Amino acid sequence: MVKIGNANDVADGQMRVFVVDGTKVNVANASGHLYAFDDTCTHMGCSLANGELEGTTVTCACHGSQFDVTSGAVLRGPAQRPVRSLPLQVNGDELLAEA
């Protein structure tokens, strides 16, 4: 686990991108629960952080694919492959992720 930022950096209902080992990792705050996943949409590579977070669903701004932020699973295409979901830990106010 490596420190990627501060838990307070991600407000409720927001997403924020952190670079972990050269990979853009999106941390989403869904009602106070934090989830980490690859920020790159598996459809055509848009940044999911430019999309919309509603509850635990993120919608890609480019072509509307939807992913479940808790697992990375595809909820709606055109994307077919899940985004990688990363284990995340909050230690005090430190945000730790598995690189």
- Token pair for 81: 């492959």
Residue 65 contacts ligand FES per CB under 6 A: yes
> Among 1, 2, 19, 44, which residue interacts with ligand FES (rule: CB under 6 A)?
44
- DSSP labels for 41-97? -TTT--BGGGSEEETTEEE-TTT--EEETTT--EEESS--SPPPEE-EEEETTEEEE
> Among 20, 41, 74, 86, which residue interacts with ligand FES (rule: CB under 6 A)?
41
> Among 7, 17, 23, 46, which residue interacts with ligand FES (rule: CB under 6 A)?
46
Q: Which residues bind ligand FES (CB under 6 A)?
A: 41, 43-46, 60, 62-65, 78-79
